[in-house]
Structure 1
Amino acid sequence: MGRGARGRRAATTAALLAATVTAALAAGCTGGGGGPGDDGRGSPKESGQGESPSARGPSALVVKIDNASPARPHTGVDAADVVYAEQVEGGLSRLMAVYATRLPETVGPVRSARESDLELLRQYGRPTLAFSGAQKKLLPLIGEAPLRAETPGNAADAFFRDSGRPTPHNLYLRPERLVPEAPGTSALTTGFHYGAAPAGGTATASRTVRYPAAGFTFTWSDSRDRWLVGMDGMPATTADGQRMAAATVVVQYVKVRESAFRDFLGNNTPYTETVGSGKATVLRDGRAWDVRWKREKAVDGTTFTTGDGTPVNFAKGQVWVVFAKTP
C-alpha cells in the first residue's frame, strides 16, 4: 500500500471515530457520567462493522460491567460463561462478562472499556465488545483492535437507562439486539480445559482476593456445589435475589502496571498484563490447586498446568478469573 493510500485510510478511520464520538456525546449516554475512567466519552465505530456475522464466524459477546457499590445487584452476569475481575482506578474493581452458550435478556450495568481489555480479548478472535464508552485517547486503539465495538453511540436501540437507578450506574444492554443468537462453545477460545478434577489439591473453605479499595471472596457451598461470590465483604446477588456462584474460580497472579491513561480525577488507569506466565490458584470442588499459567501470544488462550505440565481441568459451569497483582 502506498503512502497516499495509507494516508487516506488513516484519515477515513479518524473521521469515522470522530463522527461516532460526536454522535455519542450528542446522545448523552456513553460516558457513565463522571465515574472513574470516564473522563473522555466516546464510542468507536469499527471499520468493517457492516460485514455479516457469517463472514466473521461465531464470536463471543463480551460486556464491560460496572462493579461499584451503587451498580449492584447485577443483571445477567450469572448467564456468562466466563467472568473476569480486574482492578481499575482508585483501587476499585470492574467485571467483564463473556457470553457464548446463552444470552440473558438484559445485562448490566454497563460501563467503560480499558486499554488492557484489548489484549485480553485478542484470544476470542473478533468478539463483540459492548461498553458505555472510553477515554478519548483510547478510542483509536479500540478502533484498530480486531473486535466489533458496540456502545450507545452506534447501537442506541440495544442500550437503555433504568430510571430507578442513579447515573452512571444505570445503563443496560439487550444482548439479542447485538447478537441474534448465542454463538456456542466454539466461541470460547480461552484455552481452558474441562473435566475431572486433578489429583491432590487442598481442602479450602474460602478464598479472598483484595484490591486497594475492593475485594472478592469465594466461599464453597456443598449444597450448591459452587463457590458463592462475595464482593467487598457482602454476599453478591443477582437482581432477582439469587446468590452469584461459580463452578471454578481462578486467582491469576499477573503484572499490574501503570498505563498511559488517567481518569478525570487524575488517577492512573492500571494495565493488567495477561500475556506471559506466572502463578495461579484454581478453586473447584471445595479444593485449591497451586498451578502455573501461560499465554505466549495475545491470540492464544491461557493454559493452566500442574508442576509436571499436566493441564488442570475446570469444573463444568461458570468460570471466574480474578486478576491479582503478583506479590
Structure 2
Amino acid sequence: MLVRRGRRGRADQDWRRKSAVAELVLAVCAGAAACGGDKASGGSEPEVEAAAADRPIESVRTGGAVMLSGEWPLTGATFEGGGPQHPVYVVKMDNTASSTPQIGLSSADMVVEQLVEGGLTRLAVFYYSDVPDQVGPVRSLRASDIGIVKPTAAVLVASGGAGRTIARIADAEVATSVEGAAGFYRADDRSAPYDLFMSLGDLADNPQDGWQAPAESYLAFGDQSDFEGTIAVDKITATFSAAHSTEWKQTDDGWTRPESFAEEGDDFMADNVLLLKVKVGDAGYQDPAGNPVPETKFYGRGEAVLVHGGKALQATWSKESAGSALTLQNTDGDEVTVPAGRTWIELVPAEDGAVVLSS
C-alpha cells in the first residue's frame, strides 16, 4: 500500500529500548464505560470548565516562548530555527476495524486514546513538527476533548459533533475545523462514516486567523538518562472496557501496537507509553444507536504509569483544570520528567478499566 510521508521533517528521535521481565497489574480508575453520540436524553449537560486558567493565551504568529527555549512542545526534542507557521492540529481519528487503514499516524508527535460510546476508543492525534498530506478517517468530537486539547491552544479537527458538545467546545474557546471547512474530502473507496479525510498539509499552509502557538510543553520533558523506572516490562495491555483493549509490544524501534489499524509502514512508534487512571462520567446524552455517551474528566489527579524502554515507573498525575498542563510526581512527591520523544497517552477508565504490564 502507498505510504503517505510527512511534508515537514521531524527531529531525529531514535531511542533504543532494553528487554525486561516482570508483571504488574493495576486496577484502573473510575466512571461510566460507554461514550457517545448525538441523541439527547433526559440527563443534563455538565457545565463547561470556565476557570480563568482555561482561557487561551494571546494569539501569536511565531513558535512562541516554547520554541525560543529550544524544545518542541509535544516531544521535548531539541529545536532549532523558526517555529512552524501554524498551530498544533489535533485530529479525531476512528480507532475501530472499520477505519482500516488509518492514514497519517507515523507523522504524529503525540497521541491520546480516549473512551467513546459502546466501550470503544477514539484517537486524538497531535501534529505540529511534522504535518502529513492526508489524515483520517476523521470522526466527531467529544466534550472529553476540552481537557485533551486546551493545553496546546490547538485546532481540533473533527467531522462535527452533537449540538450540545459543539456548544461546550465553543464555550471552552477551543478552536475547531469541522466538515465543510477547506481540506475535508470523502474517499470513494470507503463507506460512511469512515470515508472522511483531511488534507492536513493544505490546512497548515493556510491557518485560521488568530491562531496560537503552544504556550508551554504538554509534558515536563527530560533526558532518558533521568528516567528512574524499575519495573521490567515488554508488553502492556490497557483495557478500556469489555469491548476494547489496546496492547503494546516492545521492539527495537519502540513500542508498537500489534493489533493496530494503521496503514502498513505508517503506524505511530512510541518512545513512551503513559497510562493514566481517569474518572469517567456521563455526558448526558446518547448516540443514535442509544448508547450513553461517556465523558473523560481529564483534570484532577490519579494514578499513572510511565513506560520507557523496558522499564515502567509508578507515579501520580495531576492537572488543575481542563486547560492546565499535565504534571507527574513519583511516590516521594518529586517531579517526574518524561524522556524526550514521542508519547502515546492512554486515558484508561478507573472503573471497569485495567492496566497490565508484563515481561
TMscore range, shorter length: 0.7 to 0.9
Return the structure number with greater relative CO, CA threshold 8 A, min gap 6.
Answer: 2
Aligned partner of 2:97 in structure 1 is 69
Tell me what 2:286 maps to: 262
Deviation at 1:102, TM superposition (A): 1.2
**Partner of residue 118, structure 2:** 90
In the alignment, is the contact (CA less than 8 A) between 1:160 and 1:172 conserved in 2?
yes
Number of residues of Structure 1 aligned to a counterpart in Structure 2? 274
SS of equivalent to 1:179:
helix
The equivalent position to 2:160 in structure 1, one of 121, 126, 133, is 133
1:113-152 maps to which residues of 2 (within 5 A)?
A: 113-125=141-153, 127-152=154-179
Q: Distance in 1 between the 2:91 and 2:149 partners? A: 11
Supply the AA of the counterpart residue of 1:202.
I
Within the alignment, does 1:216 sit opposite 2:241 as a pair? no
CA distance, structure 2, for counterparts of residue 254 and residue 86 of structure 1: 10
- Work out whether 1:239 is the aligned partner of 2:263: yes
1: CA distance, partners of 2:179 / 2:321: 32
Matches within 5 A, 1:158-307: 158-180=183-205, 186=214, 189-196=217-224, 197-212=226-241, 213-221=243-251, 223-224=252-253, 226-230=254-258, 234=259, 236=260, 238-307=262-331
8 A contact 1:38–1:264 mirrored in 2: yes
Quick one: which amino acid aligns to residue 119 of structure 1? Answer: G
Write the distance in 1 (CA, Å) between the matches of 2:184 and 2:198. 5
Following TM superposition, by how much is the alpha carbon of 1:84 offset from its aligned partner in structure 2, in angstroms? 0.5
* Secondary structure of residue in 2 paired with 1:90: helix
Structure 2 unpaired stretches of 5+: 1-34, 41-57, 65-85, 352-359
Q: Offset of 1:188 from its aligned partner? A: 6.1
Give the Cα separation in 1 of the matches to 2:178 and 2:212: 23
User: How far off is 1:205 after superposition?
Assistant: 1.2
Give the aligned residue type for 1:216. T
Task: Report the counterpart of residue 60 of structure 1 in structure 2.
Answer: 88
Change (3 A) 1:202 1:52: closer
For normalisation by structure 2, the TM-score amounts to 0.70
1:312 CA drift (Å): 2.3
CA distance in 1, matches of 2:347, 2:128: 21
- Given that 1:66 and 1:111 are in contact with CA atoms closer than 8 Å, whether structure 2 keeps it comes out as yes
1:185 Cα deviation from its structure 2 partner: 8.8
CA distance, structure 1, for counterparts of residue 236 and residue 97 of structure 2: 21
Task: Give the Cα–Cα distance (whole angstroms) in 1 for the partners of residues 285 and 93 of structure 2.
Answer: 20
Q: CA deviation at 1:256?
A: 0.9
CA 1:324–1:309 in 2, change beyond 3 Å: closer, same or farther? same
Question: Given that residues 103 and 175 in structure 1 are in contact (C-alpha distance below 8 angstroms), is that contact kept between their aligned partners in structure 2?
Answer: yes
Change (3 A) 1:172 1:304: same
Gaps of at least 5 residues in structure 1 are 1-34, 41-50
Tell me if structure 2 keeps the 8 A contact 1:101–1:185. Answer: no
Say if 1:199 and 1:140 are closer, same or farther in 2 by CA, change over 3 A: closer
CA RMSD of aligned residues (A): 2.7
TM-score normalised to structure 1 length: 0.76
Aligned-partner residue type, residue 345 of structure 2 = V
